[in-house]
Amino acid sequence: TLIAEASALNNFDMNKQITVQCDSSQNALGCCLLQDNKPVAFASRSLTPTEINYAQIEKELLSITYELSKFHNYVYGNKIIVNNDHLPLVSLLKKPIDKIKNNRLRRLKIKTYPYTYVLEYVPGPKLFIADLLSRNIVHKTPVSEIEMTDVVHTVQIAPELLISAKKFKLYQRETLNDEVLSLVLQYYKDGYDITVQDGLVYLENKIVIPKKLRKTILTLLHETHLSSHKQKFLAKSIFYWPGINSDICNFAEDYSLCQKLKRNQIKQTLINHEIPNAPFIKIGLDMAEYKSSNYLIVVDYYSRWLEIIEIRHKDTSTIISKLKPLFSKFGIPMEIIADNMPFGSREFLKFANDWEFEVNTASPHYPQSNGLAEKGVGIAKKILQKCKEEGHDIDLYLLNYRNSNVANLDFSPAQLLMNRTLRSKLPTFIDEVTVKRSRVTAV
């Protein structure tokens, strides 16, 4: 045929509109550069063994990056039209890069950034040149053309999941046995924004939970005994199934203790304090008593990090002995807001002078001036009641509390204080360990 002959190719004219057709078949890529609907250049190559396993939408975007690279000398610096027959690709490439959750698609799109192009959908029958080339390979891809980044990224397509081997195998098995997800495993290559890795299905980097395991996840979330809003915050970056938010709310409503504690919450009028611009610069201290036991409550004004420290005695020396190791972990605060006694005692003020921090004590007539610590006492008592009445581990509860979001913010105390999410019994993605966030100046 004429397309196979070099003499059929037209000379390139830099003043004419450039159109590039690109397509991907099961085993190869094909592309053709056109001007006035006449071919100027064409290329095709086979897919590597790794690329053959790509989802179809990934193959189609790969064909675009291939033609841009192959025809770089023609297209760079020019505004071109790219024709492709995969409709989902049009909407995908309109998304901002941070909205594309699939790591491979995100990486491939970044490769197109040096070029100026408009993607147009063309039905397959009209994309006959690129389609023909993708099914009749001109060049077999040599090993040298496989980029090392592609090799590295094939090892990890979905985010790395920090989960015990026992749970991982359970999720694998139930995903395979689930009547819906088993079909997803077979048809995920049809262009949906999903990823399959090691037998698990991910939607926008969230693990899709098989129906049989959803109650287990709901129970695990409920073991935090946090509000349904905070449970949804914990779940939203890790899990997905249709109706997950309503399931969390309905599951929480079935527990009488949680509803009783919710009804008993008393809102207090608080005096606002200036929010510091860094964690553990300003903290609130208060004392709490529950079931004949005494507790020192510590709240960070910046991150809302909460500490509940059991103490045998409420004397100043005992409190100081508990604060010293705390300061060695998080740093010495510049200011402590606390009630007058025992934090206004001579011994405590000497400790403040030696360790170089200020103490601002609340007036007995205006305890709301230490409102954040007072609120911390209320939260602490609720935590203690839940843990004591249901036999839960208070340290595990605090771990989940510190991983849940602060009111009116999409960040948790752990993220604000430590810039990371803490690993808990809930599966956690490795990229959650270091969370990049904008600077927060007020809570």
What domains appear along the chain, each with residue ranges and CATH number?
2-153 (3.30.420.10), 161-263 (1.10.340.70), 282-392 (3.30.420.10)
* Whole-number Å distance between alpha carbons of 114 and 88: 22
Q: Where are the alpha helices (DSSP H) in 86-213?
A: 88-94, 103-111, 128-135, 148-155, 165-177, 181-187
Could you read off the pLDDT of 316-343 as tens digits, one per residue? 999 999 999 999 999 999 999 887 678 8
Could you read off the pLDDT of 194-214 as tens digits, one per residue? 777 777 888 777 888 998 999
Question: Can you give the pTM of this predicted structure?
Answer: 0.58
Residue with the bigger pLDDT between 148 and 277: it is: 277
Nearest to 307 by CA among 387, 420, 221, 383: 383
Q: Report the range out of 17-26, 51-60, 318-327 with the highest average pLDDT.
A: 318-327
**164: number of Cβ within 10 Å:** 10
Q: How does strand 28-35 pair with strand 18-24?
A: antiparallel
Q: Is the pLDDT of residue 306 over 80?
A: yes
pLDDT at 402: 92
Segment (H or E) for 239: strand 239-240
Q: Is the pLDDT of residue 220 over 70?
A: yes
Distances (CA, A) of 115 to 67, 69, 76, 90, 420: 11, 10, 6, 16, 36
Q: How confident is the model at residue 315 (pLDDT cuts 50, 70, 90)?
A: very high
Positive or negative CA dihedral for 374, 376, 380, 381? Answer: positive
Q: How far is CA 119 from the centre of its chain?
A: 29
Mean of the pLDDT values across residues 93-109?
85
CA atoms in the 13 A half-sphere facing the CB of 37: 3
* Whole-number Å distance between alpha carbons of 265 and 378: 8
pLDDT at 428: 80
Q: How far is CA 81 from the centre of its chain?
A: 35
Could you read off the pLDDT of 106-160 as tens digits, one per residue? 899 999 999 999 999 988 777 767 566 666 665 555 434 444 344 333 333 455 6
Nearest to 226 by CA among 284, 146, 306: 306
Q: How does strand 200-203 pair with strand 194-197?
A: antiparallel
Q: Report the range out of 3-17, 109-123, 375-389 with the highest average pLDDT.
A: 109-123
Q: Is the pLDDT of residue 435 over 60?
A: no
For residue 79, the SS3 value is: strand
For residue 270, the SS3 value is: coil
* Phi, psi values for residue 188, rounded to 5°: -65, -15
Q: How confident is the model at residue 424 (pLDDT cuts 50, 70, 90)?
A: confident
Q: How does strand 206-208 pair with strand 200-203?
A: antiparallel
Beta bridge partners of 406: none
pLDDT at 186: 66
Could you read off the pLDDT of 66-92 as tens digits, one per residue? 999 999 999 999 999 999 988 888 888
Q: How confident is the model at residue 225 (pLDDT cuts 50, 70, 90)?
A: low
